[in-house]
């Protein structure tokens, strides 16, 4: 599990991720306290609107931001976005109006929408070995789950000696430390980006996602993840306090169990994926999610609910952790940042559906209705994934190329074997060229020369 940390670049990137996660967790607590100071009893509404705003930014604007920064040096861009986030967080203690909170929150997550997909796309370039990359994904998942469990406790301890404004300063410090860690390592040079119109850059990842069967399956599975996750995240407090008569400590226990299930799957996955395909692992996660939600129809006590929450966490990690492998296998170096950006937007679109749905259903007197509807959503997502994602999912596919004339930057790979007159310049270079009709086989991804998936 710890083997990827032997790679200095990944070690620094992972440390940057962990420090940013801790700081963000502290800010989540501080924002709740700030909202209460400014809005009083309407603080819950303010926080709910901020979370909805975050989802809208991630869904609607992440591809646009990704296209805007695609041609920048990746290390420099990550550092600039970290410093920008630090500056924004430092401004939060000085706000006096709710609209100012919304404005800074909007700016903060615009930066995150550019940072996170670019960061995710960098890791497979740093760790090209599939097994090492799988362990790195598991480590990242563990870091995320541990942060969810530890941040509330860290914030509580900090608040015994500091004001909540100091939590914002701590978050700014973590972003600065993250920037220093990224500066301290040399990132692989990304592949040259083709000259494209802005609209084409903004939609490139989405086009690859929708044209690749296994990525359509991944998108469908995110509905299963969000259905179970939203049920647990949104309705735990309602189920514990109103239905079971429990206290705040019981709520904390259930959330810890949810994270524990996720961590257990992350620990098991590197070994499991050596023997079992991503498709089988992830569809199993979808089936477990459906089963866990259906188990909630029984309306049993705290112990059964804890078991359900553990399975939801476990199933969500079975789906979410291998996603990076699936995306890496379905993209090339040039398109990978755009595809990770599309995954970022599409996965949050699923949460944008599931969060309000779980909240509305959770208000009903009968909790089984929420479990039933969300189980149906998870089942639909899992069934669609099984249909979209072929069981025989080969990377190398035999396919035909029709004759084609076009101009773009290229090197002399299997698709570019042509004569030159001397003026074209060193590779990679761009000039008009012709592709004759061709039938061959290789690791297939959607790109300029392969705009559609082969039939059969």
**pLDDT tens, residue by residue, 195-205:** 667 777 778 88
Q: What is the dihedral of CA 361, 367, 373, 376, to 10 degrees?
A: 150
pLDDT, position 416: 67
Alpha-helical segments (H) within 298-335: 302-320, 323-329
Q: Where are the beta strands (DSSP E) in 116-274?
A: none
Which residues, in sequence order, are CB contacts of 249 under 8 Å at separation 6+? Answer: none
> How far apart, in Å, do the first and last CA atoms of the chain sit?
38
Beta strands in 359-414 (DSSP E): 396-401, 404-410
- What phi and psi values does residue 75 have, to the nearest 5 degrees? -65, -45
Q: What is the pLDDT of residue 422?
A: 67
449 contacts 415 by C-beta, under 8 angstroms: yes
Distance of alpha carbon 101 from alpha carbon 92, whole angstroms: 7
pLDDT score at 423: 66
pLDDT at 450: 72
Eight-class DSSP state of 60: I
- DSSP H or E stretch at residue 53: helix 43-56
The residue count of the chain comes to 456
Which parts of the chain have pLDDT scores under 50? none
pLDDT for the residue numbered 347: 92
Q: What is the pLDDT of residue 392?
A: 86
- Going from the N-terminus, what domains does the chain have, and what CATH number goes with each? 1-187 (1.20.1250.20), 204-388 (1.20.1250.20)
The CA distance from 357 to 349, in Å, is 13
Strands 396-401 and 438-443: antiparallel
Give the residue carrying structure tokens 């306290």.
33
Sign of the alpha-carbon dihedral angle for 119, 120, 125, 127: positive
């Amino acid at each position: 599990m710890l083997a990827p940390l032997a790679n200095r670049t990944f070690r620094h990137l992972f440390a940057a991720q962990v420090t940013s996660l801790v700081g963000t967790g502290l800010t989540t607590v501080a924002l709740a306290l700030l909202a209460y100071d400014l809005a009083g009893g309407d603080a819950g509404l303010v926080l709910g609107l901020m979370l909805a705003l975050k989802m809208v930014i991630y869904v609607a604007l992440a591809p646009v931001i990704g296209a805007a920064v695609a041609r920048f040096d990746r290390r420099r861009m990550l550092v600039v976005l970290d410093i920008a986030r630090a500056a924004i967080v430092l401004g939060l203690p000085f706000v006096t109006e709710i609209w100012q909170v919304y404005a800074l929150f909007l700016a903060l997550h615009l930066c995150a929408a550019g940072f996170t997909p670019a960061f995710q796309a960098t890791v497979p370039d740093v760790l090209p070995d599939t097994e090492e990359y799988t362990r790195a994904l598991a480590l990242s998942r563990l870091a995320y789950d541990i942060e969810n469990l530890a941040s509330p406790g860290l914030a509580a301890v900090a608040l015994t000696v500091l004001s909540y404004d100091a939590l914002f300063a701590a978050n700014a410090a973590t972003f600065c430390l993250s920037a220093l860690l990224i500066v301290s390592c040399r990132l692989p040079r990304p592949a040259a980006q083709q000259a494209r119109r802005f609209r084409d850059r903004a939609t490139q990842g989405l086009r690859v996602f929708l044209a690749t069967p296994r990525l359509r399956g991944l998108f469908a599975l995110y509905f299963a993840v969000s259905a179970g996750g939203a049920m647990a995240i949104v309705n735990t407090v309602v189920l514990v306090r109103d239905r079971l008569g429990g206290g705040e400590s019981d709520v904390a226990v259930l959330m810890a169990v949810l994270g524990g299930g996720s961590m257990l799957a992350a620990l098991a996955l590197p070994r499991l994926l050596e023997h079992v395909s991503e498709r089988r692992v992830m569809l199993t996660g979808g089936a477990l999610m459906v089963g866990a939600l259906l188990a909630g129809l029984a309306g049993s006590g705290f112990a059964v609910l804890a078991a359900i929450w553990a399975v939801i966490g476990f199933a969500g990690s079975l789906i979410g952790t291998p996603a990076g492998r699936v995306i890496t296998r379905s993209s090339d170096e040039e398109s990978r940042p755009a595809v990770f950006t599309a995954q970022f937007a599409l996965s949050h679109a699923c949460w944008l559906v599931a969060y309000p749905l779980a909240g509305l259903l959770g208000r009903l007197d009968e909790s089984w209705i929420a479990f039933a509807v969300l189980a149906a959503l998870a089942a639909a997502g899992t069934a669609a994934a099984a249909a979209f994602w072929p069981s025989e999912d080969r990377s190398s596919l035999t396919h035909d190329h029709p004759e084609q004339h076009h101009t773009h930057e290229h090197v002399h790979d299997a698709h570019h074997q042509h004569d030159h007159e001397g003026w074209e310049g060193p590779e990679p270079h761009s000039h008009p060229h012709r592709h004759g009709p061709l039938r061959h086989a290789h690791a297939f991804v959607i790109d300029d020369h392969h705009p559609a998936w082969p039939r059969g």
